[in-house]
């Protein structure tokens, strides 16, 4: 079910992302303030936006799971949060590199978006340990969904609060890059954003297909051999109830 259109999606992702990066590298002009370093933001900001949308998407899937009780919504939520967490790690690393390039420190508290992101990341990092530590499968899914919804509601609040808390000793760089974006920069940025969103969608589908296949293989094994495959329970992912 998830493998359909995956090839078309991957090709679209490849073209858009490569195109976006090429635009960023060759077409978009250098930023007046930051110079060449600003080019990192064509990677860092789209990743951040997509990761956050992914967390919200995970919350929406969780709402659906609580409403319908179908385990596939729980799996969708899990994969969405898992992917966003990986993207989030990338955001923090690239953000740190950018901070080092801009201000000479590997971490700065002055960039509110980055700080908010760290907090969100710390929160969602507890998602898998939470799942792992609840043994009852049903309860685990439900509690994970409750967590996903709470955390999803938390994300915008967090960004609001951290942004308001800034003491404006450093000018907010995202304001100057976003507000003062030239049309050529804007084009490159939006293409990168689209490419990153497509990448997320592709990887999400990829992961869903993988989990689906794994579940089907297990079900098949149970039917043919009558036993579960050996080995410890390796992931906190929910198991699909239908084969």
- Smallest gap from residue 132 Cβ to other proteins (A): 8
| Nearest-approach distance from CB 179 to other proteins, in angstroms | 21
Question: Whole-angstrom Cα distance, residue 214 to residue 132?
Answer: 19
**Closer residue to other proteins, CB minimum distance, 4 or 150:** 150
Report residue 6 as tokens: 């995956």
Which among 197, 218, 50, 54 is positioned nearest to 127, based on CA atoms?
54
Distance (Å, whole) CA 20 – CA 39: 11
Comparing CB distances to other proteins, the nearer of 14 and 187 is 14
CA dist 209 → 23, 221, 229 (Å): 32, 18, 20
Q: Which residue has the tokens 């689209």?
A: 194
Q: What are phi and psi of 31, to 5 degrees?
A: -70, 140
Q: Which is nearer to other proteins, 4 or 210 (CB)?
A: 210
By CB atoms closer than 10 A (0-12, 13-18, 19+), residue 98 is buried
Q: Which is nearer to other proteins, 149 or 197 (CB)?
A: 149
Nearer to other proteins, 37 or 60 (CB): 37
Residue 113 and residue 117: Cα distance in Å, rounded? 6
User: What does the block give as tokens for 206?
Assistant: 């990829």
Minimum separation from the CB atom of position 186 to other proteins (A): 19
In the complex, least distance from residue 139 CB atom to other proteins, rounded to whole angstroms: 6
Query: Would you tell me which residues interact with other proteins (CB under 8 A)?
Result: 21, 30, 35-37, 39-40, 43-44, 47, 66, 86, 89-90, 93-94, 97-98, 100-101, 119-120, 122-123, 126, 129-130, 133-136, 139, 142-143, 145-147, 149-151, 153-154, 157-158, 160-162, 164-165, 203, 206, 210, 213-214, 217, 220-221, 224-225, 229
Q: Which is nearer to other proteins, 90 or 181 (CB)?
A: 90
For 182, list phi and psi in degrees, rounded to 5: -70, 160
């Amino acid at each position: 079910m998830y493998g359909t259109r995956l090839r078309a999606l991957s090709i679209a992702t490849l073209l858009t992302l490569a195109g976006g990066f090429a635009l960023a590298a060759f077409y978009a002009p250098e930023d007046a303030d930051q110079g060449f370093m600003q080019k990192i933001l064509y990677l860092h900001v789209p990743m951040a936006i997509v990761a956050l949308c992914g967390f919200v998407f995970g919350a929406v899937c969780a709402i659906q799971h609580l409403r319908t009780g179908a385990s596939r919504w729980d799996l969708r939520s899990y994969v969405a949060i898992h992917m966003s967490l990986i993207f989030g790690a990338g955001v923090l690393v690239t953000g740190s590199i950018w901070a080092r390039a801009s201000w000479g420190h590997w971490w700065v508290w002055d960039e509110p978006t980055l700080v908010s992101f760290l907090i969100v990341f710390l929160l969602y990092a507890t998602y898998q340990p939470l799942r792992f530590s609840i043994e009852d499968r049903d309860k685990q899914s439900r509690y994970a969904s409750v967590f996903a919804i709470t955390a999803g509601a938390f994300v915008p609040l967090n960004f609001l609060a951290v942004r308001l808390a800034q003491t404006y000793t450093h000018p907010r760089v995202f304001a100057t890059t976003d507000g003062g974006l030239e049309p050529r920069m804007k084009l490159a940025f939006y293409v990168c954003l689209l490419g990153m969103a497509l990448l997320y969608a592709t990887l999400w589908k990829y992961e869903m297909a993988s989990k689906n296949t794994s579940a089907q293989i297990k079900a098949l094994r149970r039917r043919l051999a009558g036993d579960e495959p050996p080995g410890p329970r390796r992931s906190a992912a929910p198991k699909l109830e239908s084969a």
